[in-house]
Amino acid sequence: MILQKRSISTIIALLLCLTSIETMAHGQDDIDILIQKAETYFLDQKNREALDMYLSVLDIDATNYEALHNTSLLYNMEGFQFDDEDERMKYYKLAESYAERALEHHPDKDESHYVYSIALGRIADKSSARNRVKAAKAIKEHGEKALELNPEHAGAWHLLAVWHHNAANLNFAERTAVRLLGGLPDASNEKAEEAFNKAIALDDETIIFYRDFARFYDEVGKKQKAEQMLNKVVTLEPKVEGDEKILEESREMLSSIR
């Protein structure tokens, strides 16, 4: 009887183990399907639908890398569409929270550092000069970490280009905050230009890269090069939701330069 009991216990344990494995397999199948749908929605410029798919993935697996960093990125992109500053900041804060989770669970992944830098930058853009300066060091550190993990990350090169552009051309309030807070890492227009060129060399179809490069050239007094960048922008096709808005801004900027 004892042997029989042990045998039954073993069989039950085995069945439970097999059931658990099957459940995990189905869960992974569901995740794969949801991620595939999210990617399709994103390519179709349906950010809200893509975001819903990634959030559904996180309901199954709260630490999923693809879902965490893409959720953060999409909250940033969605927030950018709002004119209302409170609504925009709400989305940026959500982007930051998911980026923090990505960093917590996947500190060795480039996208974790990249989306965290973006979230910090978006929030800093809408903050006081003091808070922008306080955030600047972390933005640069995480952007550089993304490039350390993936030197061909075009988005991270673009992020650093914008960082150098902003840090090398501070306004009076920002310069005052820098002095009070003990300085910033080295920044220069030369490094900004180099980083913009690297971003475009890696990805020559992303509209925001050219628009921001044009802004840089315009602000440092290189109007002809700014016009060249804008002329390139208006020939590009929108790839992601929000590109139409950037294209319209670029057309207006081009008209003002000519």
> What single-letter amino acid sits at 190?
E
Residue of 221 and 131 predicted with greater confidence: 221
pLDDT at position 179, please?
A: 63
61-85, pLDDT tens digit by residue? 999 999 999 999 999 999 988 889 9
Question: What distance in Å separates the CA atoms of residue 63 and residue 74, rounded to the nearest whole number?
Answer: 17
Of these ranges, 1-10, 120-129, 197-206, the one predicted with the greatest mean pLDDT is: 197-206
Residues 6+ apart with CB under 8 A from 162: 121, 192, 212
Average pLDDT (147-164) is 97
Single-letter code of the amino acid located at 67: A
What CA–CA distance (Å, rounded) separates 88 from 123?
9
Note whether 169 and 189 are within 8 A (CB).
yes
Distance CA 27, CA 251 (A): 47
Return d(Cα 254, Cα 252) in angstroms, integer.
Answer: 5
Q: What single-letter amino acid sits at 119?
A: A
- Work out the number of other CB atoms within 10 angstroms of the CB of residue 95: 27
| Mean of pLDDT over the chain | 88
* For residue 1, pLDDT beyond 50: no
Q: Largest Cα–Cα distance in the chain? A: 95
How confident is the model at residue 6, as a pLDDT? Answer: 52
Cα-Cα-Cα-Cα dihedral sign, residues 237, 239, 245, 249: negative
Q: What pLDDT digit, counting tens, does each position of 184-241 carry?
A: 778 899 999 999 999 999 999 999 999 999 999 999 999 999 999 999 999 999 999 8
Give yes or no for residue 20 having a pLDDT over 90: no
Using DSSP, state whether 134 is helix, strand or coil. helix
